[in-house]
Amino acid sequence: MAEKTFKDRIAFHQSLETLEVDFSNVTFSSVDEVDAFYDEVDQQLAKTGRRWYFLIIYLDCVIEPQVWERFAERGKNTNVKYSLGTVRVGASEETREEIRGRAKEDRFRSNIFASREEALFAIAERRKRQEVLVERQTDDYLRVEDVQLLFGGIRALDGVGFSVNRGEIFSIIGPNGAGKTSMLNVINGFYRPTRGQIVFDGRDRTSLKPRAVAGLRFARTFQNIALFKGMTTLDNIMTGRLLRRRSNFLWDAIYWGISKNEEMENRDYVEGIIDFLEIEAIRKTPVGRLPYGLQKRVELARALAMEPKVLLLDEPMAGMNLEEKQDMVRFILDANDQWGITMILIEHDMAVVMDISNFVVVLDHGQKIAEGVPDEVRVDPVVIRAYLGQN
Ligand SMILES: Nc1ncnc2c1ncn2[C@@H]1O[C@H](COP(=O)(O)OP(=O)(O)OP(=O)(O)O)[C@@H](O)[C@H]1O
Ligand SMILES: [Mg+2]
């Protein structure tokens, strides 16, 4: 039987916007073979003058170690130029290992499928998502554009962009180390991105310091609770009230004193929050003595005391029992409803995320691998795979 040429192994499926490449039983053992393939495919792609989804069949394909580098380099180049997204089928254990080793740079891990059918389904889902996205009305209240954040050699965030609508509950999900907390830190000015922009209400505020961001009424709760443990619940929540002031609070206090009126107003407001979150009984208790779930609630109270327009919640329900979680969900929904606060939520409990989010973005290895309304994200094979890939 005559050997199939690379030309025979490349097929365009117009209706699916997909380029299928069949590498089954191919062995790449020289750089020339690699180049011969990529020259052919690049040329054909260039002729189409547009981008395609790539479906690559790796069944019994062998890429010998000496050509891995070249293969990866040319592959990346072709992807950048012509790809709408790539799915791979049947990579051998060895190829997978190699791919895993490179998964930090490329998004390989999350899109390897066992069968061609599964892969085609994934492509169909992606196309559908793209269509929905084009239709989704965004008001660009908070826009994150092409954000990159480097820590030495680690790409904590790599070209991440999304748009949050006013008043919505917007969730960021993804495996451990995906870059979720880093994203919140960029949004609230804690980290300055190495590239990209944060635009809020039409203004670029990428380089504002945390204090200035707080002045724009961004509030935050932390993955590891950040309260003053020796201070009472009430005093902790009061600090949120003081943080709200745009001017330098200390300076004001020293030179003018805080007016009695303002002090009273702040107290009233804080009492309202205490009432709202049902924590009257612990007003005078030092926070360090409270159980974990209640500390989380006090942290939410302090954030709400800032009268935030945007509230960033980093795993507000982590470590809680079912009942505490249900309470927290209720408070988040009520606060969203009552004050119209825009919320960006990081949460690992999928049931909660899918239940309360208006929109979900999925990060993996610092990159956005998916986004959509909960019903889309829930069934997205790319997302499922990213989670299954976790140990
Ligand atoms: N200050 C830092 N210095 C160096 N590396 C950091 C720093 N902060 C985060 N990283 C790295 O950036 C990557 C993303 O971390 P990040 O904390 O944003 O992930 P995450 O999605 O919030 O994870 P988790 O679900 O475990 O909270 C990780 O590889 C992490 O080790
Ligand atoms: Mg985190």
Question: 199, 142 in Cβ contact below 8 A?
Answer: yes
Q: 281-324: per-residue pLDDT in tens?
A: 999 999 999 999 999 999 999 999 999 999 999 999 998 888 88
Question: 161, 206 in Cβ contact below 8 A?
Answer: no
Radius of gyration of the chain (CA): 25
**Ligand 1 contact via 185 beta carbon (within 6 Å):** no
Q: What is the model's pLDDT at position 257?
A: 59
Nearest Cα residue to atom 27 of ligand 1: 176
322 Cα: distance to centroid of ligand 2 (angstroms): 21
Compute the distance between CA of residue 99 and CA of residue 118 in angstroms, rounded to an integer: 19
Where the chain has pLDDT below 70, the residues are 1-2, 92-111, 129-136, 244-260, 388-391
Would you call 315 helix, strand, or coil by DSSP?
A: coil
Q: 153-194: per-residue pLDDT in tens?
A: 899 999 999 999 999 999 999 999 999 999 999 999 999 999
How would you classify the pairing of strands 52-57 and 62-63? unpaired
Compute the distance between CA of residue 127 and CA of residue 52 in angstroms, rounded to an integer: 11
Q: What is the model's pLDDT at position 317?
A: 93
**Ligand 1 contact via 365 beta carbon (within 6 Å):** no
Domains of the chain: 7-134 (3.30.750.24), 136-388 (3.40.50.300)
Q: What is the model's pLDDT at position 132?
A: 57
Q: What is the model's pLDDT at position 245?
A: 61
- Written as one string, the DSSP assignment of 161-230 is EEEE-TT-EEEEE-STTSSHHHHHHHHTTSS--SEEEEEETTEE-TT--HHHHHHTTEEEE-SS----TT
Q: Among the atoms of ligand 1, which is closest to the Cα of residue 182?
A: 18
Q: What is the model's pLDDT at position 221?
A: 92
**Ligand 1 contact via 156 beta carbon (within 6 Å):** yes
Q: What is the model's pLDDT at position 95?
A: 67
pTM over 0.85: no
Pocket test residue of 149, 171, 182, 225 for ligand 1, highest count of atoms within 8 A of CB:
182
Question: 61, 92 in Cβ contact below 8 A?
Answer: yes
Q: What is the model's pLDDT at position 56?
A: 92
Q: What is the model's pLDDT at position 287?
A: 95
